[in-house]
Amino acid sequence: MRPIRFHDLRHTFATHLAASGQPMRTIQEFLGHADSKTTQIYAHYAPSAHEVEIVNAAFAEELVTAEGRVTGGTARA
């Protein structure tokens, strides 16, 4: 197993940001990239709007209010 380098942690951080849907401009600023083309290597980790919609729909639940009304939304613990 090779040693973990700072660059590996930096790349993992940027990958997780992209996968969570953070804007590429934000990732560019965090990493200090002068050119946005450098940050684009993380773009394929970013979910498309359609993928986000599918995941949100899969985890959405109808909530029942105290008055017994049903509302759409995501239940939170």
Q: What is residue 77's predicted lDDT score, i.e. its pLDDT?
A: 47
Q: Is 63 a residue whose pLDDT tops 90?
A: no
42: left (phi over 0), alpha (psi -120 to 50) or beta: alpha
Q: What is residue 67's predicted lDDT score, i.e. its pLDDT?
A: 65
pLDDT of 7-53, one tens digit each? 999 999 999 999 888 999 999 999 999 999 999 999 888 888 888 78
Q: What is the pTM of this model?
A: 0.59
